[in-house]
Structure 1
Amino acid sequence: MHELGIVFHIIRSVEEVGRANQVRHIRAVALELGEVSGVVEEYLQDCWKWAAARSAMLDGAQLKVRTIPARTVCEACGEVYPTVQYGRQCPACKSEQTHLVQGNEMMIQEIEVDPESEAIPAADE
């Protein structure tokens, strides 16, 4: 299960941004996840709950996942089609000269800060 490693990476990244912006608590993290990224959202959510509970900044934070649909383009005819439905073969011309153009990405889209969270005092205060 590589989802736990992915969650640890997301948490490290979010904590780094939080510290840089003097944030005490994050309410939610929005993640865009490609339909064919190889990440199982159910496992990702389970790992998130476990790992976020161990972070003072992310304890109780929600992971909001938005799925990016997989799209493939055919180099032979230019057709762009849904990858999961048709696979590598173009439904328009039956060519296999295709490549994925969207749907394997994973990006942190938004970090929602708890509005009641006080800023971390600067070291010189």
Structure 2
Amino acid sequence: MHELGIIVHVAKTLKHVALQENVSKIGSVTLEIGEVSGIVESYLTDCWEYYRKKDELIEDSKLIIEKIEAVTYCDDCEKTYPTVQYGRQCPYCKGYNTWLAVGNECNIKEIEAC
């Protein structure tokens, strides 16, 4: 389960930001999760609930998850399309000269400090 590792990394990042900004409590954290990132949202939420109890900075905080739709770009016809719906084959030119443009991320979008 790599979701726990992600939460540990997020918590370390939050501690670093809190020290820089002189923040003692965090109210919420908004994560952007790519549609094809391989991160299981329910596992991530469970890991957050488990880990936040171990860290005074985030113990009362809420985790907010926003999905980023996966979009693939075709080099042949220079168009984009929804990755999950069509996969690697471009629906416009039927080519396979494609790459994932967006949708594999895991970003801290917003931190609400108390």
Residue of structure 1 in register with 2:57 after alignment: 57
Identity %: 46
Gapped runs of 5+ residues in structure 1? 115-125
For residues 1-125 of structure 1, the aligned pairs below 5 Å read: 1-114=1-114
For residues 113 and 76 of structure 2, what CA distance do their matches in structure 1 show? 47
For residues 60 and 84 of structure 1, what CA distance do their matches in structure 2 show? 35
**SS of aligned partner of 1:11:** helix
Quote the offset at 1:40 in angstroms. 0.6
- Which contiguous aligned blocks of 4+ residues in structure 1 show a shift greater than 6 angstroms? none
Quote the offset at 1:15 in angstroms. 1.1
**SS of aligned partner of 1:44:** helix
For residues 42 and 66 of structure 1, what CA distance do their matches in structure 2 show? 13
* Superposition TM-score, scaled by structure 1 size: 0.89
Quote the offset at 1:44 in angstroms. 0.3
- Alpha-carbon displacement from aligned partner over 1:88-120 (angstroms, at most 9, x marks no partner): 000011101100000001111111012xxxxxx
Aligned residues: 114
Q: Which has the higher helix share?
A: 2
Letter matched to residue 89 of structure 1: Q
C-alpha RMSD of matched pairs (Å) = 0.7
For residues 30 and 70 of structure 1, what CA distance do their matches in structure 2 show? 19
Quote the offset at 1:71 in angstroms. 0.2
Letter matched to residue 111 of structure 2: I
For residues 91 and 74 of structure 1, what CA distance do their matches in structure 2 show? 9
Letter matched to residue 59 of structure 1: E
